[in-house]
Amino acid sequence: MAKAENKTKATSVSPESFVDTVEHDVRRADAKVLLDLFADVTQLVPRMWGPSIIGYGRYHYKYESGREGEFMMTGFSPRKANQVIYIMPGYTDHSAILDRIGKYKIGKSCLYINKLADIDLDVLRELIIAGFEDMKSRYPDWKPE
């Protein structure tokens, strides 16, 4: 039986062009801030992953099941309901930072924020740095593209 391919892959769409198409004014303005913040923290050029995720860096993973693929190291997505911040591989070691960030909801590797005005951007920067550094230590063969 063939292995299922990952649905979310890097594309050639410009992240800046994608952000310009975000309909919600606050979400679009916040996404422009996040483009700068993530670029500053990672020192990487963003890439689109699938139709709506802006990612930085790339790593190869392989599960015990044999499934493998590539995904971004960190990133975000300006969704209709909120901004989604992807802190990979999750928040197990970041609770002290999250305690100081402000208003948010959380998923396994996702931080959901209504608007950047609800959080402390300096603390978000700390969280992005912590997650990115964690990923670099877990995946030393990661790529900056």
pLDDT at 107: 85
The DSSP H or E segment spanning 72 is: strand 68-78
pLDDT along the chain (145 residues), means of 10: 65 95 96 98 96 95 84 95 88 85 91 96 96 93 90
Q: Over the stretch 49-79, which tens digit does the pLDDT of each residue have?
A: 999 999 999 999 888 888 888 999 999 999 9
Question: Long-range contacts made by residues 64-70, C-beta under 8 angstroms, separation at least 24?
Answer: 66/3, 67/3, 67/4, 69/5, 69/6, 70/6, 70/9, 70/10
Q: In this structure, which amino acid lies at residue 52?
A: S
Nearest to 36 by CA among 27, 22, 46: 46
| DSSP-assigned beta bridge partners for residue 143 | 58
Domains by residue range for the chain, with CATH: 15-138 (3.90.1150.200)
pLDDT at 2: 45
